[in-house]
């Protein structure tokens, strides 16, 4: 999407403060020398008594997809607007590709591709014609424009439909055209706000595969805002859990699992030839292993047992002991694997740890 060259004026209560005072406040905050394409420190946005974003410290690295995960209303879109220079922070600092979005919004817009949750194109024009219009707005003309348009359309798999009217496109095709639109200026950063909402499952897979390919081929930094847990888990290198304007957890899914998951490690253990009558005797063997805190028997024959092990760093020892006990007791072990908690489990536990509730239908 092409952004307006001039950000709209802020209408929040921060307009009552002297502009120079706000800028000096942000200048006092030191940013790391090795900051990546997106970095914020104590970034905040208030609307009267409402705190939309509260002291946000965020780092997004080049060559990664960072998922900003939170319920609707958590502050994700407000954060994106501040990163793009479309909303002025109440406090704190941000740097996007080395520029302060408040002071240098045009420099940020030249280097950042943005895909909002509701992409807008001219329905009566073809996809290619819409991209030509965007190219002109960005000062890209002639052969260079046609070359970039062709490359962008090919990267998003839209070459075959580029000369059809946009009003014939599906939601997924519009999103892919939106990504092509964002790629025209060869951005260093791609920011996407709910990019897969209302797209069919096949279209979702295509969009997520496309994003992964862009990071691999172009080395982009991608910030993906979403409330859809499974999609974030499937494509993001790191995840930031956002709730009530605060970033309450950051890391890979395994790192977040260690922080917010169960205290015990969950191990699934499968055996051949164990019917329901042998479930309890098999569970007794597993419970006798040092480090095993609980054993859950399967509901049906052929399903694995669930072993909970404590402490977490004793997982390897417990796995070895399970192998030894199975051999000693003549149990035919056919599978053993550690089960990483799902992002859904992690998210709910993270909110519970902060005394927050999961809103029905959001982030689930």
Bridge-based pairing of strands 246-251 and 305-309 is unpaired
The answer, yes or no, to whether the previous bond of 311 is cis (omega within 30 of 0) is yes
Where would I find the H helices in the chain? 19-27, 76-83, 105-111, 127-137, 142-155, 171-183, 201-218, 229-235, 253-260, 279-287, 315-328, 343-353
CA separation for the pair 87, 162 (Å, rounded): 33
Task: Please count the residues of the chain.
Answer: 364
CA nearest to 25, candidates 99, 87, 92: 92
pLDDT of 20 reads 42
Residue 305 three-state SS? strand
What b/e sequence results for 47-61 when a residue is b if at least 16 CB atoms lie within 10 Å of its CB, and e otherwise? Answer: eeeebbbbebebbbe
pLDDT of 203 reads 87
Residue 7 three-state SS? coil
At residue 25's C-alpha, the angle toward residues 37 and 105, to 5°, is 40
Tokens at 164, concatenated:
């059809």
Q: For the chain of 364 residues, list the mean pLDDT of each consecutive stretch of 10.
A: 46 40 55 86 95 96 95 92 96 96 95 89 97 94 96 94 96 93 94 88 90 92 92 93 94 89 88 92 96 94 93 88 96 93 89 74 42
pLDDT of 16 reads 40
Full set of structural domains in the chain with CATH: 13-258 (3.40.50.300), 262-339 (3.30.70.100)
CA separation for the pair 132, 91 (Å, rounded): 38
CA separation for the pair 48, 13 (Å, rounded): 6
Residue 269 three-state SS? strand
Question: What letter would DSSP give residue 4?
Answer: P
CA nearest to 117, candidates 227, 265, 262, 258: 227
pLDDT of 362 reads 44
pLDDT of 262 reads 75
Q: Could you give phi then psi for residue 125, rounded to 5 degrees? A: -105, 155
At residue 54's C-alpha, the angle toward residues 49 and 60, to 5°, is 150
pLDDT of 10 reads 42
Residue 191 contacts residue 67 (beta carbons within 8 Å): no
Residue 26 contacts residue 1 (beta carbons within 8 Å): no
Task: State how far the alpha carbon of 153 is from the alpha carbons of 110, 132, 148, 187, in Å.
Answer: 20, 12, 8, 15
What are residue 246's DSSP bridge partners?
Answer: 243
CA nearest to 40, candidates 13, 58, 27: 58
pLDDT of 361 reads 44
Q: What is the pTM of this model?
A: 0.78
Residue 108 contacts residue 99 (beta carbons within 8 Å): yes
The answer for residues whose C-beta is within 8 angstroms of residue 52's C-beta and 6 or more apart is 45, 46, 75, 78, 245
CA separation for the pair 85, 143 (Å, rounded): 31
């Amino acid at each position: 999407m092409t952004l307006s060259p001039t950000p709209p004026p802020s209408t929040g209560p921060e307009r009552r403060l002297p502009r120079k005072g706000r800028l000096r406040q942000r200048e006092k905050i030191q940013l790391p020398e090795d900051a990546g394409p997106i970095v914020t420190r104590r970034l905040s946005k208030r609307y009267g008594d409402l705190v939309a974003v509260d002291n946000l410290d965020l780092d997004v690295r080049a060559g990664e997809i960072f998922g900003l995960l939170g319920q609707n209303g958590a502050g994700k879109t407000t954060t994106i607007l501040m990163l793009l220079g479309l909303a002025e922070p109440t406090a704190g600092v941000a740097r996007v590709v080395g520029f302060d979005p408040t002071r240098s919004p045009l420099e940020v817009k030249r280097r950042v591709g943005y895909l909002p949750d509701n992409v807008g194109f001219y329905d009566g024009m073809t996809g290619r014609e819409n991209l030509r219009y965007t190219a002109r707005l960005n000062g890209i003309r002639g052969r260079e424009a046609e070359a970039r348009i062709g490359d962008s359309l090919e990267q998003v798999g839209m070459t075959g439909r580029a000369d059809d009217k946009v009003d014939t496109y599906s939601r997924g095709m519009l999103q892919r055209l939106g990504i092509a639109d964002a790629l025209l200026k060869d951005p260093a950063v791609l920011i996407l706000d709910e990019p897969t909402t209302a797209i069919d499952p096949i279209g979702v897979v295509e969009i997520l595969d496309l994003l992964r390919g862009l990071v691999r081929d172009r080395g982009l930094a991608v910030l993906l805002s979403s409330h859809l847990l499974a999609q974030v888990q499937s494509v993001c290198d790191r995840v930031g859990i956002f709730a009530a304007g605060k970033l309450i957890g950051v890391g890979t899914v395994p790192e977040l699992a260690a922080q917010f998951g169960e205290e015990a490690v969950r191990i699934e253990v499968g055996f051949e030839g164990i019917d329901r009558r042998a479930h309890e005797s098999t569970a007794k063997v597993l419970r006798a292993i040092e480090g095993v805190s609980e054993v859950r028997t399967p509901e049906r024959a052929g399903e694995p047992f669930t072993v909970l092990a404590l402490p977490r760093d004793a997982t390897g020892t417990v796995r070895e002991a399970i192998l030894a006990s199975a051999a000693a007791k003549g149990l035919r072990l056919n599978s053993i694997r550690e089960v990483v908690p799902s992002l859904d489990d992690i998210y709910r536990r993270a909110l519970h740890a902060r005394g927050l509730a999961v809103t029905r239908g959001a982030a689930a």
